Structure 1
Amino acid sequence: MYLADHTWPDLRDRLTEESTAIVPLGSTEQHGPHLPLATDHLIAEALATAAAEETGIPRTPTVDIGVSPHHRQFPGTLWVDPPAFRDYVESFTRNLTYHGIDRVVYVNAHGGNVSHLREVGRRLHEDGTAYAIEWMWDESIPELVDDLFEHNGPHAGPKETAMITHIARELVDTEQFENARDGGLVDLADSDAVVHGARTYYDAIDNSANGAFGDPTDVTPEKGERLFDAATDQLVQLVEWLDAHELETLLPEPRVD
């Protein structure tokens, strides 16, 4: 159920005390020469929509812009500063609790958001307001990702390319697949990204001239469908698990005497 498609009288009966909600979040940032800037938020929204339709649990509008300053050198990339992002998501989630929602799944598709969403969840958990957890789609199916692609790449690689091929194929420039591979970085081990245990980079462009990592040339629509279906199944199971718990069982344990 997409919350924003309904009238408030409809939602008065659907948003009850002790409810669960799905919140998709992504980014608007460069994804190499072959994928749209919308890649992350399109993936998050598509997965959240599929899970909401299967479970009947409400989905909120998508947070389209995230923490992406590490892609700022590429034209079109948009971002917000981390404190602003954290405060926005926290305020937004506290607003949901006003309507009876006390458990939230942040359906996230952007690595730059991860630590900040976990911090927001910690704050809400600590003061007993809500139980909000971050879920990253590719972390839910790592074995399948590894089985399908030899060079995954952390960004704009085959896994994201396959997902967008399934979700919005018209936005994928297949003629740029080889350019994405040859002008980017196929394997981080071939760079100086880590030297003597220290990460040497701050921005994507420090390692990849065109912003792509991995090799998307072996992507097929069938692989994209497999990834999407498997991730959706994991998300549905997570949402159902969370919805089955009472908030009290998820709040912090009392001080040990």
Structure 2
Amino acid sequence: MRLQHATWQEVEAYLTRETGIIVPIGSTEQHGPNGLVGTDAICPETVAWEVGERHGVLVAPTQNLGMAQHHLAFPGTISLRPSTLIAVLRDTVQSLSRHGFTHVFFLNGHGGNIATLSAAFAEVYAERSLQQAPGGELHLTTNNWFAGPRVRELAESLYGDAEGTHATASEVALSWFARPEAVKQVEMSPRIAPRGSAQCDADEFRRRFPDGRMGSDPSLASIEHGKRFFEASVDDVWEAYRAFAKPA
């Protein structure tokens, strides 16, 4: 069930039986020579939609813009400042909380969002704690689709050290499964990209990683692999969501 495809009456009815919601969040940034600029949003969105369909969980619209300043030397990247993203996330959570949602599960596709998500949660909790009137129940969490146990095991078995940390074979494969018309075959040189830190500005990042990859060889990706990552992540995410929103 997708929030943007529901009426307000349907959302109200949902809240009589469930108070959890999945919010996909990603980024709009370069993903190397054969990866889509929208990869980090496409991947969590695709997984969230399937979890929603299989298990009747409401899925919010995807937050497509994230904290991606270190990719801005590559055309097509759009980044929010951390303070801007924190404000967007606070307003999102407060809007959902007003309606009665108590468990907001952010399904993340971009490592660069993790610190900002944590800061946004801290801001929300601090504001509620400082109110004179007590607020209602509210629980927030981040789950990274690429870090689930089934996904990590599959990536290790398929790619080993060639998985890397950005423009990875696994995320390219999953995005191709979701958008098969976008498959691109590109020769990588070097085959495995340089490794290093992304804690720098955009120009320095491009000097360190000239084609945008970090330690990866996404030429190993395929649609068939993407289907396997899709199924693995759907299982990982449902398990994590159920433990978060429906504890025994």
Q: What secondary structure sits across from 2:58 in the alignment? A: coil
Contact 2:107 2:145 in 1 (8 A): yes
1:58 corresponds to 2:58: yes
Matching residue's letter, 1:99: H
Contact 1:121 1:131 in 2 (8 A): no
Aligned to 2:139: 131
Contact 1:201 1:207 in 2 (8 A): no
Aligned to 1:99: 99
* TM-score, L = length of structure 2: 0.87
Count of aligned pairs between the two proteins: 234
Aligned to 1:208: 209
Matching residue's letter, 1:56: G
Q: What secondary structure sits across from 1:149 in the alignment? A: helix
Contact 2:35 2:172 in 1 (8 A): yes
Contact 2:156 2:163 in 1 (8 A): yes
Distance verdict in 2 for CA 1:238–1:125, change over 3 Å: farther
Aligned to 2:2: 2
Identity of aligned residues (%): 28
Instruction: Kindly state the Cα deviation for residue 222 of structure 1 after the two structures are TM-superposed.
Output: 2.1
Contact 1:16 1:100 in 2 (8 A): no
Contact 1:18 1:103 in 2 (8 A): no
The 2-side partners of 1:114 and 1:208 are apart by 21
The 2-side partners of 1:163 and 1:87 are apart by 30
Provide structure 2 residue ranges, at least 5 long, that are not aligned to the other structure.
130-134
* TM-score, L = length of structure 1: 0.84
- Of 140, 153, 156 in structure 2, the residue corresponding to residue 146 of structure 1 is 156
Instruction: Kindly state the Cα deviation for residue 172 of structure 1 after the two structures are TM-superposed.
Output: 2.4
The 2-side partners of 1:119 and 1:55 are apart by 30
1:241 corresponds to 2:243: yes
The 1-side partners of 2:68 and 2:101 are apart by 29
Provide structure 1 residue ranges, at least 5 long, that are not aligned to the other structure.
247-257
The 2-side partners of 1:218 and 1:12 are apart by 45
Instruction: Kindly state the Cα deviation for residue 97 of structure 1 after the two structures are TM-superposed.
Output: 0.6
Distance verdict in 2 for CA 1:25–1:243, change over 3 Å: same
Aligned to 2:31: 31
Matching residue's letter, 1:145: A
The 2-side partners of 1:109 and 1:75 are apart by 20
